[in-house]
Amino acid sequence: MAAELYYQAIGTLQSHSHLNNFDHHQKRYNNVVTLVARDFVSSNGLSIRRSNRSGQRSCSVIRSLASQTSVVDPVLSPSRSNAGDTYKKSNEAALILIRHGESLWNEKNLFTGCVDVPLSKKGIDEAIEAGKRISSIPIDVIFTSALIRAQMTAMLAMTQHRRGKVPIIMHNESEQSRSWSQVFSEDTKKQSIPVIPSWQLNERMYGELQGLNKQETADRYGKEQVHEWRRSYDTPPPNGESLEMCAERAVAYFRDQIEPQLLSGKNVMISAHGNSLRSIIMYLDKLTSQEVISLELSTGIPMLYIFKEGRFIRRGSPVAPSEAGVYAYTRRLALYKQKLDDMFQ
């Protein structure tokens, strides 16, 4: 796992005098956000730290609670006196799922599976567009598969994030890898996001179909047989994995490695594949094996969930980079977005 990082929080709310520079509607919106923030602070035992030096907003370093780091870019940070109780009562984290953009073999209509193929030009554009759509959602840690198309999607998406933090792939395959990739600047760590690759999030292995043209395969084996291999829950292609087998490894990894991050308050992005993400969504939405086989995920389209009080709540998929409403923002996410607006306008 990634070494423990220390992170920066977003600056405080904009002053009322500065709001005079905006038109009437903008002032009303900001005032509403301010009232929501104050209500959220008082109801959850949180605190806002301010600094007016040279008119600059303060940034505070949020240190780890026990062995877990706190939310990387929290909208509000728990006060030190009751941090533990606050996290137990009102912990909330965002979970973003992204299926990688179109790959070069998607473009050629070939079965890809676990063959490590990069994105196509269209896939690159899809990844960048996905990044624009999640540019105002806090992200503290990224999980990807071990395959380059998922990692490219995550990296390209993060070039669009407004917070400007740099994703860094964590190499834990050997002691030398960990030692050689160590970052020694605390300031640099604060502006970084760990990216954790895992083979358990790989696309399901398509066995002897990998590299074959999908249409030619249907002509050879029959449409019904190929459809059963592709869309049944428990029938694998020759020497390959079924969706059930893929789900066993993907969901187990999600429970063991990703869910604890969410429980600790971290906001997580997963960049993976159609079948590994279908497996995770099956777990999140409690779908049956019959329901999950009809679930389709488009390439490069983010899906947002909120994890709160042990429950996963689907909040939808964004349709435009600047439309906050399509995310069905929670108060916390709306406040985070407003703070980004204040920082970077």
Q: Bridge partners of 145?
A: 198
- Taking alpha carbons only, the member of 225, 224, 229 closest to residue 204 is 229
DSSP count for the chain of H helices, then E strands: 15, 11
Which single residue is written with the structure tokens 């070039």?
159
Q: What's the fold here for domain 58-320?
A: Rossmann fold (3.40.50)
| Residue 76: per-residue pLDDT | 35
The arithmetic mean of pLDDT across residues 80-109, rounded, is 74
What distance in Å separates the CA atoms of residue 235 and residue 240, rounded to the nearest whole number?
9
Domain spans of the chain? 58-320
Q: Bridge partners of 198?
A: 145
Residue 318 has pLDDT above 80, yes or no: no
**And the tokens for 254?**
């999600």
Q: Which of 92, 126, 203, 241 is catalytic?
A: 203
CB-CB contact of 66 with 78 (8 Å): no
Residue 203 is labelled as binding a ligand: yes
51-55, 180-184, 340-344, range with greatest mean pLDDT: 180-184
pLDDT tens across 276-290, in order?
999 999 999 999 999
Residue 323 has pLDDT above 70, yes or no: no
Residue 186 has pLDDT above 90, yes or no: yes
Within 8 A by CB and 6+ apart from 119, the residues are 100, 101, 102, 103, 104, 126, 127, 149, 152, 153, 156
CB-CB contact of 253 with 1 (8 Å): no
Residue 86 is labelled as binding a ligand: no
**Would residue 203 show up in a list of annotated catalytic residues for this protein?**
yes
Q: What percent of the chain has pLDDT over 90?
A: 59
CB-CB contact of 157 with 167 (8 Å): no
| Residue 274: per-residue pLDDT | 95
Residue 273 is labelled as binding a ligand: no
135-139, 199-203, 215-219, range with greatest mean pLDDT: 199-203
11-15, 35-39, 41-45, 314-318, range with greatest mean pLDDT: 314-318
Residue 106 is labelled as binding a ligand: yes
Q: Which of 100, 126, 161, 241 is catalytic?
A: 100
19-33, 81-95, 303-317, range with greatest mean pLDDT: 303-317
| Residue 28: per-residue pLDDT | 39
What distance in Å separates the CA atoms of residue 193 and residue 154, rounded to the nearest whole number?
11
